[in-house]
C-alpha cells in the first residue's frame, strides 16, 4: 500500500487532501499541531472507513517533526508522497520581513 504524509490537516486544503488520498487507497499520515481538536475529522475517517492516522506535528519545532517522522518510519517504513501543506500567512513585503518569518 502506498503511503502519504500530509502536514497541516486540521482544516481546509490539508484536511481535504488527506481525505482525497485516503479515498484513493493510500495509507495517510495526517499531521497537525493539535490532534485533540480533530473530532470531526475522525468522524469523517470512521464513517468512510479510510486508512488515515492522525498524528501530532508542529512544523515550527524540529523536535516535533523528528519525533513524528521517526514514529511513522519506524512503524510503517518509507513514505511515498509528501504534501507539505502546513503554514501560516504573513503580510508585508518579503524584503522587509525578518528571516524568522520563514
Q: Domain spans of the chain? A: 3-86
In order of 56, 96, 98, the CA distances from 30 in angstroms are 8, 33, 30
Please give the pLDDT value at position 99. 80
Q: How far is 70 from 3, CA to CA, in rounded Å?
A: 15
Please give the pLDDT value at position 83. 98
Q: What is the pLDDT along the chain (102 residues), one digit of tens a residue?
A: 899 999 999 999 999 999 999 999 999 999 999 999 999 999 999 999 999 999 999 998 999 999 999 999 999 999 999 999 997 777 788 788 888 776
3-86, CATH topology level: Rossmann fold (3.40.50)
Amino acid at each position: 500500500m502506498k503511503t502519504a504524509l500530509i502536514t497541516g490537516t486540521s482544516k481546509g486544503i490539508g484536511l481535504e487532501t488527506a481525505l482525497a488520498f485516503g479515498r484513493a487507497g493510500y495509507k495517510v499520515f495526517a499531521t497537525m499541531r493539535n490532534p485533540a481538536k480533530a473530532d470531526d475529522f475522525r468522524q469523517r475517517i470512521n464513517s468512510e472507513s479510510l486508512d488515515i492516522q492522525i498524528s501530532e506535528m508542529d512544523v515550527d519545532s524540529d523536535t516535533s517533526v523528528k519525533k513524528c517522522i521517526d514514529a511513522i518510519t519506524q512503524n510503517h517504513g518509507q513514505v511515498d508522497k509528501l504534501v507539505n501543506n502546513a503554514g501560516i500567512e504573513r503580510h508585508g513585503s518579503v524584503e522587509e520581513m525578518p528571516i524568522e518569518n520563514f
